[in-house]
Amino acid sequence: MFKKLFGKEEKIDHEVLVSPMTGEVVDVTEVPDPTFSEKMMGDGIAFKPTDGEVVAPIGGEIVNLFPTKHAIGIKSKAGVEYLIHIGLDTVMLDGEGFTAHVSQGDKVNVGDKLITVDLDFVAEKAKTITPLVITSDVGSIEKDINKSVVKGETEVLTVHL
């Protein structure tokens, strides 16, 4: 509306992400893998899922869908890139137990179904804890952790640009 009146775009100074999975949200430092717990890929949070459906935590574009379907990258409308890494050691499953519902280049809205994972199958062969990390430089983040969350609904992360 302001753009039409004054010819200016509204400046986005933060984005809010909702949970991509149903379960419990914890700090990324609790992930039993130093790549994530030591924030080598970026800061973030992680999910202990109780449901195998993964949805978009923010609107944007799918910029990376790994061939093994165990990880997906989303670039938000503000240009921030996020990585959802479904489980640990899941790359070795070579896509078994995962079904992708999107492709690289697709535009998604909050809550759109991204990937379905057979949690029981993954739990037998790997770990189901799922990190969500910010792989872009940002100003600061606020985490709302250590609680039960519902995919596509519960706000879990505020990213200040």
- Domain that includes residue 103, residue range: 12-160
Would residue 2 count as lying in a domain?
A: no
Q: What is the pLDDT of residues 56-81, one digit of tens each?
A: 999 999 999 999 999 999 999 999 99
The pLDDT score that the predictor gives to residue 12 is 83
Would residue 141 count as lying in a domain?
A: yes
Would residue 146 count as lying in a domain?
A: yes
Would residue 35 count as lying in a domain?
A: yes
14 has catalytic annotation: no
Residue 6 to residues 77, 78, 137, Cα–Cα distance (Å): 22, 21, 30
- The tally of domains found in the chain comes to 1
CB 73 within 8 A of CB 82: yes
Would residue 123 count as lying in a domain?
A: yes
Q: Cα–Cα distance between 152 and 58 in angstroms, integer? A: 9
Would residue 55 count as lying in a domain?
A: yes
Q: What is the pLDDT of residues 80-137, one digit of tens each?
A: 999 999 999 999 999 999 999 999 999 999 999 999 999 999 999 999 999 999 999 9
Looking at residue 148, which CATH number applies to its domain? 2.70.70.10
CB 161 within 8 A of CB 139: yes
Q: Which of 14, 85, 101, 160 is catalytic?
A: 85
Q: Helix or strand or coil: residue 33? A: coil
Would residue 1 count as lying in a domain?
A: no
Would residue 152 count as lying in a domain?
A: yes
**For residue 6, what pLDDT band results from cuts at 50, 70 and 90?**
low
Nearest one of 17, 35, 30, 20 to 142, comparing CA atoms? 17
